[in-house]
Amino acid sequence: EEALDAAFFRDRLRRAIALRQAFDPEQTNVYRLVHSEGDGLPGLIVDRYGDMLVAQIHTLGMERLRPLLIDALGEATGARGILLRNDSQSRRREGLEVEEPLVVAGAVPERVIVRENGVQFAVDLWQGQKTGFFIDQRDQRAALRQYARGKRVLNCFSYTGGFSIYAALTNAETRVTSVDVSAPALALARENFALNGLDAERHEFLLSDVFDYLEQARRDGVQFDVVVLDPPAFARTQSARSQALKAYRRLNSLGMEALRPGGILLTCSCSGVVHLDDLLGVLAQSAQHVRRPVQLLETRTHSLDHPINLAMPETGYLKTIFCRLG
């Protein structure tokens, strides 16, 4: 019954901003400001990086409202710059063009430095994955600390070092190996280590396909105390679900074989069509395959800045599991 006008956007944005006031800006100034259907604004993602916003429009309906949206965002947030990252291939399903990044308000630098739980990260807003950073793993990065202290940690699909830095900050004895297929991501990870007063030379940064690396580690008998598996989405549509589950089984079997007895596995899925029960089933099958017992310790999802719309369970897309290998 509501008119889709400036007042509509002001109201929805006011509600979204009120929820994020739970964050202490001195500790965390990077978070999701609008989580599409979770915040009553279907087809819209807006992430806040300090005084910069990065937005993504995924649907035709929201695209038609773009001018109203941009004006309302600037008015509601006071952001110094708004970058539109309409580079997702999902736009094609709505008959929309995939666009180059575009500044639609103010000025947006290539990089910004943000704080997350007091940890600093340099973020590439223009070329980085998603809107520049994997904001949805904030709580899981913090949770990893209790398992990583003084351990040998392997971070697979490490990107710019989120999990790696949280682990390395636990104490001077912790050693982290970060594996990613992107050289620019690993280079930025090194910078992020330095940004947090960590000596990158005391840790490893390996340019490799994760599956290839884990296969080689198995052949060489290399094992770790903690293994983090945070892959990209293996399935974006229901038709890809079956193949995705096979990929998750292979990945988690390899990850388990890279763990010493008593080691901790943090495994994740950001595929909306793969549910928590699916991922738990994958873990059970992987454990059976490698013939090792597994203790389930924690299941987690994204934080309050990614509210889940109960009428649309896909808004709760992230599943993370901590478990212990016998």
Evaluate whether 13 touches 74 at the Cβ level (below 8 Å).
no
Up-side HSE of residue 49: CA atoms within 13 Å toward CB? 27
Whole-angstrom distance, CA of residue 73 vs CA of residue 66: 10
Whole-angstrom distance, CA of residue 88 vs CA of residue 138: 23
Q: Is 117 left (phi over 0), alpha (psi -120 to 50) or beta?
A: left
Does 268 participate in catalysis according to the annotation? no
Phi, psi dihedral angles at 56 (to 5 degrees) = -135, 135
- Which listed residue (156, 268, 270, 323) is catalytic? 270
Q: For strand 52-57 and strand 259-269, is the pairing parallel, antiparallel, or unpaired?
A: unpaired
For the chain, the 3-state helix, strand and coil shares in percent, each to the nearest 5, are 40, 25, 35
Evaluate whether 14 touches 75 at the Cβ level (below 8 Å).
no
In 3D, which of 247, 267, 246, 243 has the Cα closest to residue 322?
267
Q: To which residue do tokens 């950001």 refer?
A: 270
Q: Which residues are paired to 106 by β-bridges?
A: 81
Whole-angstrom distance, CA of residue 136 vs CA of residue 73: 21
Task: Convert 135-173 to b/e letters by CB count within 10 Å (16 or more is b).
Answer: bbbbbbbebbeebbeebbbbbbbbbbbbbbbbbbbbeee
For residue 70, give the H/E element and its range: helix 66-77
Q: Which residues participate in catalysis according to the annotation?
A: 270
